[in-house]
Amino acid sequence: MRLIVLLLTALALRLGFVFVVLPAIEPRLALRFDADNYTAIAQSIWRGEWNNVERGPIYPLFVAVCGGSLPAVRLAQALLDCGTVWLVFLLTRRLWGEKPAWVAAWLYAVYPLAWWRVAFMNKEIVLTLLLAATVWCWQRPIASGVGLALANLCKPSYLLLPLLRRWWSPQRKTFAVTLAVMLAVIAPWTVRNYVVTGELLPVATERGGFTAYVTNWWPTRGDWETNKSLWQAELDRIRGQHADLNPVQLDRLFYRLTLQNIVAEPGHTLLMFARKAVMFWFVNASGRAWWAGALLQLVYLGLAVAGAVRRRPPAELLTVVLYTWALHALVIADVRFALPVMPYVCVMAAAAFRYEDKKLA
């Protein structure tokens, strides 16, 4: 009964915010709920004309199943995010016990930035659920391999994650199985990309090359929103000089140019990395009421640090959090991209409190 109350409360908070609160404040915010044009991609899927290699298949298919309707996507994402609440409960109970599990699950259930992301056609809600399911199955090599594959087919940011596991430990054979299963599940989509482009592309470009270039180009100071007209002109110049390249080749070119910038200006790169490392946790791209979100994040992160000091979290949790943080500090940083690791922040935060539970005694 308590779990049902928790999940229904989480659902009510998300639906109430998306369908009641947001419509009242939306006219003053000028928001773009489908900035990545997933509705257009869903329409191309329905017509059987989807040759796009910019996005992985999971989220566009999710939007297509929802009929390309923003209200339907919001409802589905609210339900999926309740699934994440449940996984936070299960994971924390396995680690710390029953009482901390309730604290962690409630922390994520009432986390306002999760409610906010439910409103948008962005992949973070789906990715958060897939990643949480993967972490829950971490000790089961086949299940975790499938989970990692699905997470990467949603957003190919975690292709290198299996390589960060402790290969020197007695469990290295199970790690190898996880890696092999992940690659096997992704392989059909890699073949599809080769048929479409003639290039070897594991999942999708995600516009990663030009994103890395923009956010490691010193005039932007690492911020996507800084000197926007300047970097757009720079991208147009480069694209004009290489008009013969296909999207995959162009993306690789931007990665090479990014590396050149990093090597040429290591001091500037370190400054931008440090700035993006902070932005990842505390700054939203729009800049609207950033201080309120930053204060909220500070509370959650403070509890997580206190919990990690009091009770050392499993290496798997820390690996996922630190990997995601470092990756976005290298490329693009925004509090939106922190959502997939917030379940583990809540798990660690739950350990900050004192319980009679033997696991935390």
Mean pLDDT of the chain: 91
d(CA 338, CA 283): 10
Q: Mean per-residue pLDDT for 52-62?
A: 94
Q: Is the pLDDT of residue 160 over 70?
A: yes
Question: Higher pLDDT residue, 242 or 290?
Answer: 242
Contact assessment for residue 238 and residue 253, using Cβ atoms and an 8 Å cutoff: yes
Q: Is the pLDDT of residue 359 over 80?
A: no
Burial class (CB in 10 A: 0-12, 13-18, 19+), 30: exposed
pLDDT tens track for 18-39: 999 988 888 777 777 877 789 8
pLDDT tens track for 203-224: 999 999 989 999 999 998 888 8
pLDDT for position 226:
76
Q: Give the distance, in angstroms, between the CA of residue 165 and the centroid of all CA atoms in the same chain.
A: 20
pLDDT classification of 49: cutoffs 50, 70, 90: confident
Q: Mean per-residue pLDDT for 91-107?
A: 95
d(CA 286, CA 119): 15
pLDDT for position 169:
60
HSE, CB side, 13 Å, CA atoms: give it for residue 284.
Answer: 18
pLDDT tens track for 338-358: 999 999 999 999 999 888 755
d(CA 154, CA 135): 16
pLDDT for position 360:
56
Contact assessment for residue 128 and residue 340, using Cβ atoms and an 8 Å cutoff: yes
Contact assessment for residue 298 and residue 242, using Cβ atoms and an 8 Å cutoff: no
d(CA 180, CA 41): 30
The DSSP-derived string for 266-318 is: HHHHHHHHHHHHHHHHH--TT-TTHHHHHHHHHHHHHHHHHHHHHSPPPHHHH
Q: Is the pLDDT of residue 170 over 90?
A: no
Q: Is the pLDDT of residue 182 over 90?
A: yes
pLDDT classification of 306: cutoffs 50, 70, 90: very high
Q: Which residue do the tokens 């996984």 mark?
A: 87
Enclosing H/E stretch for 84: helix 70-95
Domain boundaries, the chain: 2-360
pTM: 0.94
d(CA 100, CA 95): 9
Q: Which two tokens stand for residue 27?
A: 């006219």
pLDDT for position 338:
96
DSSP structure class, residue 65:
H
> Percent of the chain having pLDDT more than 70?
95
